[in-house]
Amino acid sequence: MPQLPKHITDSAFQECMVELEAIVSKEWVMTGQSDLQSYRDDYGIFWGHSELEPKPSAAVAPASTDEVQAVVRILNKYQLPCWTISTGKNLGYGGAAPLKNGMITIDLKRMNRIIEVNEKHAYAIVEPGVSYFDLFNYIRDKGYKLWMSCPSPGWGSIIGNTSEHGVGYTPYGDHYGNQCGLEVVLPDGDLLRTGMGAMPDTKTWGTFKYGFGPHIDGMFTQSNLGIVTRMGIWLMPEPPTFMTGWAMMDGIDDFATMIEATRDLRQQDIITNMATVFPGMMDATYRPESGEPLRELIAGRGSPMDLIKILKEHNLGFWTNRMAFYGLSNAVKEKYEYMMDHYLAHNPKTRFKFDTYSAPYDFRKMDAGAKLQAGVPNLGEWTVMGWTEDSDAHAFFSPIIPFTGEAAQEHVDVFNEIFTRHGRGPYIGSIALFNTTRTCMITIPLPVRKGDHEFNRVSQDLFLDLVQASTERGWGDYRAPTFAMDTIMDTYSFNNHALRRFHERIKDTLDPNGIFSPGKNGIWPERYRDTRVII
């Protein structure tokens, strides 16, 4: 028998499984050890740890909203806690694994219908099992002149990524900001639709967010208050011209300059997409002529000066801002020229490499970075390239810092001391994503070795020190791996943790049995609150 929550007996668990099988069929209730392997966290720091690795007691895969409702009612009957996933591709943040042992996983992968794509009004309504590849292929097959926004890689769920406040690289890269209306199964099995979707036979679900009364969509993102079974998302009308490329600065100390120059361009809407600043070595992940030397350097943990040498040999700036321009050709050209003048005023040695494309588009002619900025999903060709010891996975730390060169340089200086102290340095900076015009999202992959508990313990300690240093400076982490959810929520401590207390008052009201994802993002129901772990 799998490990169960303390209040669940073996006989009650077996009875619950029989009732679930009557809803979804025996095939889609998984209890065997081999069946549950896919519900482990492949990137987890506790992988293989006999005591700490969280594993589900079972998994159930409903195929419709009606089946989700029925499953939820059965789980309430037995008071069996669950953990919900869309496709389980939340890599670096917990993957498909639950937060605690014994939870039953509700896997929504079979709910993979594209309900609607409206070309005239540029929106789609999808179910949780729809991946970015699915929607992209559907749009292409129909010949719609629409672009979407996707993360890298694109195999994950649109609803899953949006619900976790994930980001992409087009002007629609704030995925939650471009969400419009939800269908939600509540903890008692009731069904709710938000916004204009709350009207029967609505004609404007996908076009107007707010509906009537309080806007509650955010309650069901990064939360455990409901299971999202449908979501409206806005799509981008295909632009007549698309220009994409790099601004590159060669010096390791140019990070602050790059950030300062980019802020002005972002706030003036010269750059409208999710521009992305990263060390030039990332570019090597999809440029073979420079990739191998860099991989050898990184494996050997060379010095920053070694890195600069290789980047120069292959004409890659140390700091690279990947950006794009969209629209009429004259407007694109004017923005491009303004951007160049602006960067050169900040650093006369800035170099540029841009390509221009026009409709109809042949995405095969674009590199992986250009494809992402055109909303084309990939299998991770444009990814974070680690610059520490060899590892086969990672856990993300993602603080939000002010959009200033001063804050950018401070984070490098502070984090470099921490990385070096833990033997994982030097830290020279990581990806800076500009999903708003006022903040930088720094995404830092901390190395994980599958099953190497000593190595991973160092990464966990490193993570915690980064959290402490960020909290002291007022930089909040916006999205946490499961092992650190309580720790991150604890940093949002204004007025004796008023935010957490408010979340938990809502949780206890909507979910009195505490069955929906107990502990997700630090929100615990009353019956499990004593299991909160702040590390």
DSSP annotation of 378 reads -
pLDDT tens for each residue of 396-415:
999 999 999 999 999 999 99
Active site residues: 93, 478-479
Report the C-alpha gap between 102 and 306 in whole angstroms: 48
pLDDT band at 309, cuts 50/70/90? Answer: low
Residue by residue, DSSP assigns 288-345 as HHHHHHHHHHHHTT--HHHHHHHHHHTT--SEEEEEEEEESHHHHHHHHHHHHHHHHH
pLDDT value of position 29: 98
Do the beta carbons of residue 147 and residue 372 sit within 8 Å?
no
pLDDT of residue 219: 97
Average pLDDT over residues 430-459: 91
Residue 474: phi, psi to the nearest 5? 75, 25
Which of 174, 207, 232, 186 shows the shortest CA–CA distance to 400? Answer: 174
- 461's enclosing H/E stretch is helix 453-472
Q: What mean pLDDT value characterizes the chain?
A: 91
- pLDDT band, very low/low/confident/very high, at 288 (cuts 50, 70, 90): very low
Q: What is the pLDDT of residue 391?
A: 73
Query: Residue range 492-502: average pLDDT?
Result: 98
Hey, CA dihedral for 355, 361, 366, 369, is it positive or negative?
positive
- Given a cut of 70, whether residue 431 has pLDDT beyond it is yes
Whether residue 11 is predicted with pLDDT greater than 50 in this model: the reply is: yes
Q: Do domains 241-373 and 393-489 have the same CATH topology?
A: yes
pLDDT band at 429 (very low <50, low <70, confident <90, very high): confident
Reply yes or no on domain 492-531 having CATH 3.40.50.300. no
Task: Kindly state the average pLDDT of the residues 208-224.
Answer: 96
Q: How far apart are CA 289 and CA 296, in angstroms?
A: 13
Sequence-distant (6+) residues with CB within 8 A of 309 are none
End-to-end CA distance of the chain: 29
Asked if pLDDT for residue 298 goes beyond 50, the answer is: no
Q: How many CB atoms lie within 10 A of CB 517?
A: 25
Q: Can you tell me the distance from the alpha carbon of 481 to that of 520, in angstroms, rounded to the nearest whole number?
A: 10
CATH code given to domain 241-373: 3.40.462.10
pLDDT at residue 253, as a whole number: 86
CATH topology of domain 10-107: 3.30.43
Query: 444, 11, 374, 7: which is closest to 170 by C-alpha?
Result: 374
Report whether 230 contacts 68 (CB < 8 A): no
Closest of 24, 22, 19, 40 to residue 83, by C-alpha: 40
Domain segments of the chain as ranges = 10-107, 114-237, 241-373, 393-489, 492-531
Q: Map residue 409 onto helix, strand or coil.
A: helix
Proportion of the chain above pLDDT 90, given as a percent: 80
pLDDT confidence tier of residue 299, bands split at 50, 70 and 90: very low
Q: For 32-46, 104-118, 133-147, 225-239, which range has the lowest pLDDT when averaged over its residues?
A: 32-46
Q: For residues 195 and 481, give the distance between their C-alpha atoms in angstroms, rounded to a whole number.
A: 30
Average pLDDT over residues 96-113: 96
Residue with tokens 């060379």: 302
* Res 261 pLDDT > 50: yes
pLDDT band at 287 (very low <50, low <70, confident <90, very high): very low
Tokens encoding 405: 């060169």
**Position 308 confidence tier, pLDDT thresholds 50, 70, 90:** low
Dist CA 448 CA 471 (whole Å): 23
- What residues form DSSP beta bridges with 395? 446
Strand ranges inside 154-273, DSSP E = 179-185, 191-193, 227-234, 236-237, 241-249
Residues contacting 412, CB < 8 A, separation 6+: 255, 427, 428, 429
- Cα dist. 445→392, 460, 483 in Å? 11, 12, 15
- pLDDT of amino acid 285: 41
Alpha-carbon torsion (275, 130, 41, 15), positive or negative: positive
DSSP 216-241: -GGGGSSSSS-EEEEEEEE-EEPPSE
Kindly report, residue by residue over 162-179, the tens digit of the pLDDT: 999 999 999 999 999 999
CB 208 within 8 A of CB 195: yes
- DSSP sequence for 416-448: HHHHHHTT-------EEE-SSSSEEEEEEEEEE
Residue 315's pLDDT band (cuts 50, 70, 90): low
Sheet holding 29-30, edge to edge: 29-30, 58-60, 104-107, 82-85
Whether the CB-CB separation of 131 and 156 falls below 8 Å is answered with yes
For the entire predicted model, the pTM comes to 0.93
Q: What is the DSSP letter of 33?
A: T
Tokens coding 174: 């704030």
pLDDT at 456 over 80: yes
CATH class given for the domain over 393-489? alpha beta
In this structure, the strands spanning 241-249 and 351-358 are antiparallel
Alpha carbon separation from 50 to 46, 137, 292, 400, 453 (Å, rounded): 9, 42, 37, 34, 11
Q: Residue 280 — φ and ψ, nearest 5°?
A: -55, -20
- At 192-213, the pLDDT tens digits run 999 999 999 999 999 999 999 9
At residue 3 the predicted structure's pLDDT band, cuts being 50, 70 and 90, is confident
Q: Give the whole-angstrom CA distance, residue 8 versus residue 320.
A: 54
Q: Give mean pLDDT, residues 19-31.
A: 98
Task: Read off the pLDDT of residues 339-391 as tens digits, 9 standing for 90 and up.
Answer: 999 999 999 999 999 999 999 999 999 988 899 999 999 886 554 444 444 67
pLDDT at 427: 87
SS3 159: helix
Amino acid 107 reads D
The residue with greater pLDDT, 301 or 112, is 112
* Fold assignment, 114-237: 3.30.465
Instruction: Read off the pLDDT of each residue in 117-138 and give the average, rounded to a whole number.
Output: 98
| Gyration radius of the chain's alpha carbons | 23
User: What number of other Cβ atoms are within 10 A of residue 464's Cβ?
Assistant: 16
pLDDT score for 304: 54
Question: Is residue 302's pLDDT more than 80?
Answer: no
Q: Which residue has the higher pLDDT, 436 or 460?
A: 460
